[in-house]
Amino acid sequence: MRRVAIVSQAGSKYSKDSGKSIFDLACEPCAKILNNENLDKTHLGAVLFSSCTTEQYSSTILSELLGIRPQMSQRIDNLCNSGTNAIVSGYSLIASGLCDTALVVGAEKAHSEGNKLRWDVTRGSFMLPVHWAALFAKAHMRKYGTSEEEMAMVSVKNRGNASTNPNALFRNPVTLDEVMTSRKIADPLKLLDCSAPCDGASAVLLASEEKAKKLTDNPVWIRGIGQYTSSASFANATVDLCSVEAAKVAAQGAYKMSKTKPSQIDVAEVHDAFTILEILAYEDLGFAKKGMGGKFVQQNNVAINARGGIIGRGHPVGATGVAQVVEIADQLAGSAGKAQVKGCETGLVHNLAAAGSSATVIVMGTS
């Protein structure tokens, strides 16, 4: 297999309602990426569009709007896990030799009908993501003594980090008291334990090693990928509500492929759609011992969600996985601005969908 690099990455300012169409949103970060004098954008290998939009033929429309005539144009839709699925597809096309470049674009409108999973009758009338997340939280509290304050501290940390991110939906920090007294949504989760849907887009340009050297002096390498799908339904997603089985399997795959240990990760973007999910991620990724996730929130060994995570940055469903990759690529390329983690060499992205029924873990590095 050929090595695959991220040669450039960009995001747009996330907002509750941008007033823009899904395609105008999607073009925004692409304009920054395609403005490279060494890139012949009319002949890109692939355009991969990650979105849950109900617009048909969307990757092909996006290609035309960007003036690209790609060999391959595909739309990838896997709910909140769409973005990293698109990255994996782009990686595969390049690693296999089918393409030399792939533009991976994620974009979403906050209230797209495509963002909602209606199929899962195992959830009964409690269909919302916050309902399964609350059951995960209750289980972790009961079994391991994790507290509401520990969960709230995830929000305090990530909202604080988002204050340095110019693209974040929420740039105002919150206090522990504000999280704890925010409106109850599903016990023990409160409003500020939850991420918010929003409009937003992010994009990365992937390239083969040979092509990458012509396009940038500062490539970031995709070193390992793990994915796993345990189900589509909440009922069959995981036997133990105190962990996300798909994430554990995906992490093992990514660590093995990249020959990396959890202790070698310097920076990570983990899927904090709800505070409890970040605590579960600490354990599922091997950063913390099982049951100790709540105590791990205030550690300093690894920089987690350094630019706000999903809670701070916002959650445009199909764009989220791409945005996570953009954040880690920025960190490893040294272009993360005020949130830059000094000297980081290895990063990780952890992206989930639908009650943790599917997961992607990607390990990236400077070499």
Partner 1 sequence: MKQDFHTMLRQGKFMMPTCVSCGEIAWPPSANCPRCLSATQLKKSVTTGTLLEFTRSHVTGKEGVFGLVKMGDIRIVGSFDNRPLAEGMKVKMTGCGLLDDGTAYYRFVPASTRR
Active-site annotation, residues: 80, 315
Per rule CB under 8 A, is residue 126 in the interface with partner 1?
A: yes
Q: Among 9-17, 53-61, 125-133, 295-303, which window interacts with partner 1 (CB under 8 A)?
A: 125-133
Report whether 221 contacts 367 (CB < 8 A): yes
**132 vs 221, which CB is nearer to partner 1?**
132
Per rule CB under 8 A, is residue 120 in the interface with partner 1?
A: yes
Report whether 304 contacts 271 (CB < 8 A): no
Q: Among 2-10, 71-79, 127-135, 315-323, which window interacts with partner 1 (CB under 8 A)?
A: 127-135
Give me the least distance between CB of 296 and partner 1, in Å please. 22
Which string of x and - marks every residue 309-348 that binds partner 1 (by CB under 8 A)? Answer: ----------------------------------------
For partner 1, the binding residue among 114, 188, 219, 294 (CB under 8 A) is 188
Backbone angles phi, psi at 324, to 5 degrees: -65, -40
For partner 1, the binding residue among 72, 139, 180, 341 (CB under 8 A) is 139
301-327 per-residue burial string, b: 16 or more CB within 10 A, e: under 16: ebbbbbbbbbbbbbbbbbbbbbbbbbb
Give me the least distance between CB of 89 and partner 1, in Å please. 26
Q: Which two tokens stand for residue 244?
A: 């996300």
Per rule CB under 8 A, is residue 131 in the interface with partner 1?
A: yes
In the range 282-301, which residues lie near partner 1 by CB under 8 A? none
Rounded CA separation 78/222 (Å): 21
Give me the least distance between CB of 17 and partner 1, in Å please. 20
**137 vs 329, which CB is nearer to partner 1?**
137
Q: Which positions ≥6 away from 24 have C-beta within 8 Å?
A: none
Geometric angle at alpha carbon 83, from 151 and 217, rounded to 5°: 105
For partner 1, the binding residue among 138, 171, 290, 295 (CB under 8 A) is 138
Q: Which amino acid is at 58?
A: S
For partner 1, the binding residue among 60, 122, 163, 175 (CB under 8 A) is 122
**190 vs 248, which CB is nearer to partner 1?**
190
**Residue the block writes with tokens 């339904």:** 233
Give me the least distance between CB of 341 and partner 1, in Å please. 36
Query: Considering CB under 8 A, how many residues would be counted as binding partner 1?
Result: 32
**169 vs 185, which CB is nearer to partner 1?**
185
Per rule CB under 8 A, is residue 280 in the interface with partner 1?
A: no
In the range 218-247, which residues lie near partner 1 by CB under 8 A? 232-236, 241
Give me the least distance between CB of 346 and partner 1, in Å please. 36
Q: Which two tokens stand for residue 348?
A: 């990780």
Per rule CB under 8 A, is residue 111 in the interface with partner 1?
A: no
Give me the least distance between CB of 184 and partner 1, in Å please. 4
Give me the least distance between CB of 136 and partner 1, in Å please. 9
Q: Which two tokens stand for residue 301?
A: 């060994």
Rounded CA separation 201/9 (Å): 11
Which string of x and - marks every residue 146-185 that binds partner 1 (by CB under 8 A)? Answer: -------------------------------------xxx
**130 vs 292, which CB is nearer to partner 1?**
130
What is the binding site for partner 1 (CB under 8 A)?
A: 118-128, 130-132, 134-135, 137-139, 142, 183-188, 232-236, 241
